[in-house]
Amino acid sequence: MEYIDNLPAMDLMRSEKMTCVQLIIPVESAHRAISYLGELGLLQFRELNADKSPFQRTFVNQVKRCAEMSRKLRFFKDQISKAGLLISGHPGMQPDLELEELEIRLAEHEHELIEMNSNSEKLQQTYNELLEFKMVLQKAGSFLVPGKSPAVAEEVELDENIHSSDDYADTASLLEQEMRGTPVQSGVRCMCGIICKSKALKFERMLFRATRGNLLFNQAPTDVYISDPTSSEMVEKTVFVVFFSGEQARMKILKICEAFAANCYPVPEEINKQRQIIKEVSSRLAELEATLDAGMRHRNKALADVAFHLTRWMNLVRREKAVYDTLNMLNFDVTKKCLVGEGWCPISEKSQIQEALQRATFHSNSQVGVIFHAMDSVESPPTYFKTNHFTNSFQEIVDAYGVAGYQEANPAVYTVVTFPFLFAVMFGDWGHGICLLMLALFLIAREGKLSLQKLGSFMEMLFGGRYVILLMALFSIYCGLIYNEFFSVPFHIFGQSAYKCRDATCSDSSTAGLVKFRDPYPFGVDPSWRGSRSELPFLNSLKMKMSILLGVVQMNLGILLSYFNARFFSNSVDIRYQFLPQIIFLNSLFGYLSLLIIIKWCTGSRADLYHVMIYMFLSPFEDLGENELFWGQRPLQILLLLLAMVAVPWMLFPKPFILKKLHSERFQGRMYGILHSTEMDLDVEPDSARQLHHEDFNFSEIFVHQLIHSIEFVLGAVSNTASYLRLWALSLAHSELSTVFYEKVLLLAWGCYIFRYENLVIRLVGLAVFAFATAFILLMMESLSAFLHALRLHWVEFQNKFYHGDGYKFKPFSFAILTDEDD
């Protein structure tokens, strides 16, 4: 035991040692001190103002200002994105900018941009209206002047009153009257306008019903898409001309036009007036185009200037808001003119934090330094593991189940190896492993570029797990070499087969067997097993027994880690009444089964292990007969069965009663806790971490919990061992699927001598189908299935033996983490 205690500690085996600290910061240096701590990212602040609403806190006005600046920056970002401009990711070296100066600049830019947008919208709306009017003049002329095509209409410009149709409607005359030259007044009027083509049919029907058919409706589609003045969307429109009679009909038509968002424009019946208006409209359109282009260039120039500084401004505002949010978590002492804060930090990093606080005091020209000291706390400290690019993804796999308690044994240390290995046991094919390896190497080679890009959710998941994929690929190649499968095809890589044909008909392996004539194949499965009539029984037996061995080893590792947890926390009760009965129970049954498997492999015995294990419970005193693997097996089985039966009550009853006894002794004066002085108790803040909370001991609750835990372990020992058989099942499924795709698709198109397809197209189609099936079914779906099953084996079968996962992550105040989350 002394040797174990003297071993150097692993970096990831236990979380970093944490300490609760208190900071007393003068007001004049508070902002700079918090900023320096944010750059360092090693201190997690506690919320000391939980009873106050956000609007009752000290720095609420500063937070509001930062939120308003964030809104303006989001507005700029949206406008830059709509304009199709790029935001500078690295603005380069620029002078420092104060928050007040930035606030003024943002207000100026926003006012300027809003004014430019407003002017641009007005001009664009006028331009769209003129363009519509031009189309109406061109198309409606053909209905008002017989024999005139809209193409004759020339480009024009409109005078100011383009919407007032009273001048034309009151003086307009019908074409027939003009042709006859008789100025006879008629009650027939016309109304011209433009409407979306999708609404034209409904519009015509509504007009017909509203006027009881007393109208003449003509329409002509526009040649180009026109921007709608109200929605600014490019739509296909139709010009219409309605002939009607009476003021009442006119009012109805106007209301229907308004309901259908149809725009009406005045079109005179006289050709000279039409030509004159067309010229005016064309001239006005040309002027507006030049004005809009100049305004767009000016707007883009202003947006480009903002885009160059936008990333830096957003980072500055984000940091300032985070600083003030953190300051709001501290207690503000008006009399002492200081802020009091509490938090957690790693013990090994205290010197860096003290150095940062000293720099903050010096740079803020404060006469009083920041007081930084450790304090006692009854709260469990946060869990903090120092990870790198390689170990971080494995730690995330463990944390997805639950964050380790403070100083609890970390499963990620073993998950780095066991997770990709169990995946490879189910995915073993060195051809498929090479494909995964190429993907992993690609992601690692482009690590620098991909880390700076904004990826989709799927690609981000792949990139984050690039090192997991790398190890899964390497272990898949290793297991594939053991299974001797390359896209389901065996190869004689490590020498010749140990088997040869029994006779000349051996080529038909389904009817004639093979005989062994030399030493066993040196590594992995002999390639001669592939295609033989005993292939499936042999591989099933091999993989099933291997799955049980791997499962028992990993479960024993989990129970062993529970011992190291109990020893680390000096919990002798868990060692004596939890670890010992659990290790005895598991190995009395399934450890013994693993021993039988290894002995059977080494001796070549034909003993039926199913029979041995079943009758170990049903008839433990019965003679084993031909199923006996070694001398003294029957007495050993009886002993192991008795040990398993004793382990269950050993695990269930002693622990609750011993805990009750220890609790009663503690409060009878036989065991003494830490005595606190009266001065210490009086100094305790209301929300301070020093407050102690005592919980009553509930024996019935403890006993029920132990009962549930014992039943779970006993039943789980059986179900978890059976669960490891998924290694065999998925490995078999992967191998059979790969064989089907190879033999029924690729060989059928390329190498089948029965059908003899000589057509190149058929061969290429067969190759494409095989590649598609391999990529999307075997490499994607099967790899995802194996990944999820390996995840289940670690979360349930392995971690439930020792891992509580009831801790919480160390989340320091850090500008780096803040930037990553926002990106």
What are 597-622's pLDDT values in tens digits?
999 998 888 888 888 899 888 888 88
State the pLDDT confidence band at 488, using cuts at 50, 70 and 90.
confident
* pLDDT average, residue stretch 505-530: 70
CA distances from 84 to 69, 593, 703, 722 (A): 23, 68, 67, 59
CA distance 816 to 572: 42
Give the pLDDT confidence score for residue 56 in this predicted structure.
86
Tokens of 786: 């194996």
Give the model's confidence band at 669: pLDDT under 50 very low, under 70 low, under 90 confident, else very high. low
Q: Using CA atoms, how far apart are residues 313 and 310, in angstroms rounded to an integer? A: 5
Residues 6+ apart with CB under 8 A from 219: 200, 204, 238, 239, 240, 241
**pLDDT > 90? residue 644:** yes
DSSP category for residue 486: B
Please work out, in degrees rounded to the nearest 5, the angle formed at the alpha carbon of residue 488 by the alpha carbons of 486 and 492: 55
Above pLDDT 70, what percent of the chain? 85
pLDDT the model gives residue 131:
86
CB distance 152 to 324 below 8 Å: no
Q: Helical H runs in 604-669?
A: 609-618, 633-652, 654-666
pLDDT of 37 reads 94
Higher per-residue pLDDT: 696 or 113: 113
**How many Cβ atoms sit within 10 Å of the Cβ of residue 356?**
22
Radius of gyration of the chain (CA): 41
**What's the pLDDT band for 532 if we cut at 50, 70, 90?**
confident
- Please tell me what DSSP assigns to residue 577: I
pLDDT at 690: 40
Residue 756 pLDDT greater than 80, yes or no: no
- Which runs of E-coded beta strand occur in 433-545? 499-501, 514-516
At residue 152, the pLDDT reads: 36
3-state secondary structure of 787: helix
pLDDT reading at 160 higher than 60? no
pLDDT score recorded for residue 790: 96
pLDDT of residue 751: 63
**Under the phi-then-psi rule, with left for phi > 0, alpha for psi from -120 to 50, and beta for the rest, what region is 146?**
beta
- Residue 36 reports pLDDT greater than 50: yes
**Strand, coil or helix: 543:** helix
Burial class (CB in 10 A: 0-12, 13-18, 19+), 262: buried
Q: What angle do CA 171, 173, 178 make, to 5 degrees?
A: 130
Is the pLDDT score of 670 beyond 50? no
381-394: per-residue pLDDT in tens?
999 999 999 999 99
pLDDT at 156: 34
User: What is the model's pLDDT at position 145?
Assistant: 58
Q: pLDDT value at position 504?
A: 57
Helix/strand number for the chain, H first, E second: 30, 13
| CA dihedral sign of residues 263, 268, 274, 280 | negative
Query: Higher-confidence residue: 474 or 754?
Result: 474
Q: What is the pLDDT of residue 559?
A: 96
> Which run of H or E residues covers position 226?
strand 226-227
Q: What angle do CA 390, 395, 398 make, to 5 degrees?
A: 145
Handedness of CA 583, 584, 585, 591 (dihedral sign): positive
Map tokens 């930062």 to a residue: 66
Report whether pLDDT(498) > 50: yes
At 167, the pLDDT band (50, 70, 90 cuts) reads: very low
pLDDT of the residue at 747: 80
Residue with tokens 């002939």: 243
pLDDT band at 343 (very low <50, low <70, confident <90, very high): very high
pLDDT grade for 5, boundaries at 50, 70 and 90: low
253 within 8 A of 207, measured Cβ to Cβ: yes
Which residues are 19's β-sheet partners? 345
Cβ–Cβ under 8 Å, residues 420 and 472: yes
Contacts of 133 (CB under 8 A, 6+ apart): 158, 162, 265, 281
Poorest-pLDDT segment among 147-151, 343-347, 560-564 = 147-151
Using the predicted structure, report yes or no on whether residue 165 has a pLDDT greater than 80. no
Residue 615 and residue 743 in contact, taking contact as beta carbons nearer than 8 Å: no
Q: Residue 820: what pLDDT? A: 54
Under the banding of pLDDT at 50, 70 and 90, the label for residue 754 is very low
One-letter-per-residue 3-state SS of 562-584: HHHHHHHCCCHHHHHHHHHHHHH
pLDDT at 436 over 90: yes
- Tell me the residue type at 400: A
Rounded to 10 deg, the angle between the 535-568 and 699-723 helix axes is: 150
| Cβ within 8 Å of residue 283, ≥6 positions away | 155, 156, 157
Distances (CA, A) of 356 to 25, 37, 43, 340, 813: 13, 7, 11, 17, 14
Contact 728, 544 (CB under 8 A): yes
Find the mean pLDDT for residues 143-162. 42
Q: So what's the pLDDT on residue 516?
A: 73
What is the value of pTM for the model shown?
Answer: 0.78
Secondary-structure percent of the chain, ordered helix, strand, coil, rounded to 5: 60, 10, 30
**DSSP labels for 664-710?**
HHHTTTSS--PPPPHHHHHT--TT-TT--------HHHHHHHHHHHH
Q: Where are the alpha helices (DSSP H) in 145-186?
A: 166-171, 175-180
> Are 585 and 644 a contacting pair, CB within 8 Å?
yes
Residue 222 confidence (pLDDT): 82
CB 424 within 8 A of CB 476: yes
Joined together, the tokens standing for residue 641 give: 């069965």
For residue 184, pLDDT over 60 is answered with no
Q: Which residues pair with 375 in a beta bridge?
A: 20
Per the DSSP assignment, residues forming a β-bridge with 263 are 194
Q: What is the mean pLDDT of the chain?
A: 83
Q: What is the mean pLDDT of residues 640-652?
A: 94
**pLDDT category of residue 227 using cuts at 50, 70 and 90:** confident
Q: Quick one: pLDDT band at residue 506, thresholds 50, 70, 90?
A: low
Q: In whole angstroms, give the CA distance from residue 775 to residue 781.
A: 9
Q: Which residues contact 497 (CB under 8 A, 6 or more apart)?
A: 521, 526, 527, 528
Q: How confident is the model at residue 571 (pLDDT cuts 50, 70, 90)?
A: very high
Residue range 697-716: mean pLDDT, rounded:
91
Whether residue 562 has pLDDT greater than 60: yes
Convert the pLDDT of each residue in 254-306 to its tens digit: 999 999 988 898 888 778 888 888 888 889 989 998 998 999 999 999 999 99
**Spatial CA neighbour of 473 closest among 537, 396, 421, 517:** 421
